[in-house]
Structure 1
C-alpha cells in the first residue's frame, strides 16, 4: 500500500508486515514515468539519473485519486505517477513464484507433465510455474529420435555449448573424460562448479534404458541447507562464505574456479549450492576452522544422500528431467552395462530462460485481469 501525504510532501510505502517506509526524493525522481523521461516499449530511461543532485527534495505531492499522484521536485521536474508501478520494487521474488522446498515425500505427479501438451499456452505457463517453484520438472513423451532435448531446451531458454558440445551423450564409455560416462554410481552433485558461469539448468533425456539399475536421483538443496543451518549455524556460515577451489582437466582445457559451496543470492538468500566431491579441494584455513568446515561439508553430503531428502526413480524411454543445476542436485545409482544399453542425452541452458519466459507470459496476461482496487493508495 502507498500513502501520499500532501503537507509536508511525502510518499510512504507499507509492506505486508505493516512496516511503513518513507520513499526518498531521489528514489521517486528517477522513477518518473512521463514519455519524455521513460521510453514506453522498452521501459528504459531517456535521462541519466546518476547526474541528479544528491540534495534533491520533494516539494509537492498531490493525490489525484485512485492510484495516481502528481509529484514535484526541487529541480523543477513535475510528473504524474502511477503508484502501482512501485509494487515491483517490493517484490522479493521479482515477479516469480516463491520457491517451494521439497523432500522425498514430494508427490511425483506434481512435477510431471506431458511434453506434447506444452504447445498450449496455458499449459506451458503452468509448466514454467511448476519448474520455478520446485526447481525441477519431468516431461514425458519427448520423442527419442535425434537430439530432441535441444528442441526442449530452446523452448524453455537457449542451449549453451560447452567443451562437451551443444549436447552430450551419457552412456558407458570406459575411457571417457568424466565419471558420468561410466557405469559407476554418482552421488548427488551439481554439474560444472569449475566453470564460470556455472551452467544454470540441466536437461537429461532418456533415449533408452534397458538396465535394472541406473536409477536417477534428485534432492532439493533448499530443504537440506535449511536443515544444516539449524543443526550447525557456524558450519553453514563457513560453507556460505569460504571459497572452495573446483578443478576439471580435459584434453586441451583445464578449468578452475573458486566459489563457496552454499550460494547466497544478492539479497543474502540461499538459492543453491556448488557441490561435487569429485572436483573440490578443501580450502586452507586454521586447524579449528578446517575441522569445522569439514564437519559441515560431511554433514551436507550425508543429508543429500539421506532417504528423507533424496528421491530415486527410473528415467524411462522418452522421459526428460529439467532441473536447476544449483538448487537441485542429481545423481545415479550404479548399473551393469552387460544387462543392456542405457543412453541419455544432456544439455544446459541458462537460468534466465524460464524466468524470462514466465515474466513475459504473466505481463501479457495482466491487461485481461481485473484492475487493482483504488484502496491501494491513500492520501492526506
Structure 2
C-alpha cells in the first residue's frame, strides 16, 4: 500500500499521563482542548455567573486533520477510555482504540488467504494506547493509520493498523442503524392478485449460466418467497444442479434429495394421493430448511394442483384485525414432532417469530422473522394446556382459527399445476405450500425435491449483492461495499 503522509502525528494520551504532568504543564494542545471537554452531541448545562463565557463553536475539521478525542479532555479517572477522533463528513467522530485495534486487517492480524483472525479480542491489553495520523492512500483515499503502544503480546513496535475513512464511516452508520432497531425490509407481502401480477419465471439455462439472472432471481425469491423455473432437463439430477447454484444442499433423514410420489403405507402424507393442507416442512427440527425445491418429472394424473399462501401477509392482516390474536401466536408454544420407529424429532416453537427490537422503540413494521405452521406434523401440547383457571389454550385456538382463515382465504391463495420440466422454489419459513388430491390410478405424479439452508441462501445472495448492487444486507442493515 502506498501511503503519502500529509499530517503530523498526534498522540492519544491517557489520564495517567495527564495526572503526572498536570493540566498547566501540558505543552501540546489539541484542537478540542481549547474548545470543549465534552463531545458536541452532549447538551451543555446553564452557565453560572462565576464561569467563563462559552467558547465559540469550532469550524469543521477537514479530512486530513486528525484531532485528539474530546472524550479524553479533562478526564481524571484512573482508568479512562482511550479514543481517537477523526473528521468524517466534516464532523469529528470518536473511536475507541480497542475497536480500532481489534478491527485491524493487516497480514499479521488476518491471514490474507483464509481471511481468518490471527489473534483473539481478549488478547488486547486494556491499557492499549495509540499514536494516530491521517494519510492518503492511492487506492483507498484518506485513511487512518495507528501506531500502537502496549500492543497485543507478540506484536512489535513496527505494527501499524490502517482503516479507510470509508470503512470507518460504514462502521459508524451500521452501529446507528443497529441501535435504532428499524429494519431495512424490501419483502413484498402478497395475495393472489399481487403474485399473479408479479410472478417470475426463469429459464433453466439462464439460471445455470448467468450470474446476473441468478442475482435477479434470488433477489425476487427473497422479496416474494416464490419463484418458478422452466425448461428443466428431464433428469433426477436436475434439482441438484438447480440447488447447487445457490450452494450446498441440506441433507436430512429423507436424503439429499427425495421423491414425492404416491406409494402404499406411506410414512409421510405427502407420499399419498390425499389432499395435503397448507404447511411448512421439518418444523420438528432445530433449523428447518429455508428453501424447498420441487422439480416436476411426471404430471400425468388429474388433479394434484399446488397452491401457496404468504404467511407474512396473513400475519400482517391478523395484526391489523386483532393485536390480541397476533400476540397470542407470538407467544404460545406449539410442539411439532416426527415420531417413527427409526426417527424421533421433536421441537416446540411459537407460530410467529419476530426480529428483536429495542424495548422502548416503536418499530415501523412488524419485523416478521419466521412463521411456523404445519398442522399435519403437530404434536400434543406440552405447555399452557389449561385447567380450571387457565384459558391460554383456548385463546390459542381462537387465534389459530382466525389465522388459518386468512391463510386459506381464496383471495390469498396462488394456485398452479406444475407441468413436466418445471420447478418451483419457495421460502419454507414464509410461504406455505399445499396440494390438492389426485387420482393415482390414472397416471403418474412425480416430483423430485431438495432443501437449502438459510445460511447458504443468504451467503450466495450477499456475494451477488456485493458484486452487482455494491451493497449487502445483514441484520436488517444495508452495508455498502468498502
Match of 1:70 among 125, 145, 148: 145
| Structure 1 pair 97–236 and aligned structure 2 pair: CA distance change class (3 A) | closer
Deviation, structure 1 residue 13:
8.5
Q: Distance in 2 between matches of 1:219 and 1:83?
A: 46
For the structure 1 residues 144 and 97, does the alpha-carbon distance in structure 2 shift closer, same or farther, using more than 3 Å as the test? Answer: farther
Structure with higher Rg: it is 2
- Equivalent-residue separation in structure 2 for 1:151 and 1:129 (angstroms): 19
5+ residue gaps, structure 2 = 1-60, 71-83, 152-158, 359-366, 471-479
Distance of aligned partners of 1:240 and 1:43 in 2 relative to their CA distance in 1, 3 Å threshold: farther
Candidates 319, 334, 347, aligned match of 2:450: 347
Q: Which of 319, 323, 339 is equivalent to 2:422?
A: 319
* Contact 1:187–1:305 under 8 Å retained in 2: no
SS of equivalent to 1:133: helix
CA distance in 2, matches of 1:340, 1:205: 17
Q: CA deviation at 1:189?
A: 0.8
Aligned pairs (5 A) from 1:251-330: 251-265=341-355, 269-280=367-378, 281-285=380-384, 286=386, 287-330=390-433
Residues 112-143 of structure 1 show CA distances to partners (whole Å, capped at 9, x for unaligned) of 21111121222222222222222221111111
Alpha-carbon distance between aligned partners in 2 of 1:21 and 1:233, rounded to the nearest angstrom = 42
Q: Distance in 2 between matches of 1:301 and 1:232?
A: 14
Change (3 A) 1:111 1:272: farther
Q: Any conservation in 1 of the 2:314–2:407 contact (CA below 8 Å)?
A: yes
Q: Which string of whole-angstrom CA distances, capped at 9 and with x for unpartnered residues, describes residues 185-227 of structure 1?
A: 2221100111232122211111122234221111222222222
- 275-284 vs 60-69, greater mean Cα deviation: 60-69
Q: Secondary structure at the match of 2:439?
A: coil
Aligned residues: 358
RMSD: 3.3
Structure with more relative contact order (C-alpha pairs < 8 Å, separation 6 or more): 1
Matched, 1:104 2:192: yes
Cα distance between partner residues in 1 of 2:452 and 2:116: 27
In the alignment, is the contact (CA less than 8 A) between 1:132 and 1:355 conserved in 2?
Answer: no
Answer whether contact 2:264 2:272 (CA < 8 A) is retained: yes
Counterpart among 67, 76, 80 of residue 6 in structure 1: 67
Q: 1:122 to 1:239 in 2, by over 3 A?
A: same
1:180 equivalent in structure 2: 270
Instruction: Name which of 227, 236, 244 aligns with 1:137.
Output: 227
Contact kept? 2:279, 2:433, Cα under 8 Å: yes
2:101 maps to which of 8, 15, 29: 29
Unaligned runs of 5+ in 1: 15-19, 368-375
Deviation at 1:311, TM superposition (A): 0.8
Give 1:217's aligned residue: 307
CA–CA distance in 1 between the matches of 2:450 and 2:392?
37
**In the TM superposition, what are the counterparts of 1:82-101 in structure 2 within 5 Å?**
82-86=164-168, 87=170, 89=174, 98-101=186-189
Q: Distance in 2 between matches of 1:259 and 1:55?
A: 45
The alignment partner of 2:432 has SS state of strand
Q: 1:292 to 1:181 in 2, by over 3 A?
A: same
TM-score with structure 1 length normalisation?
0.81
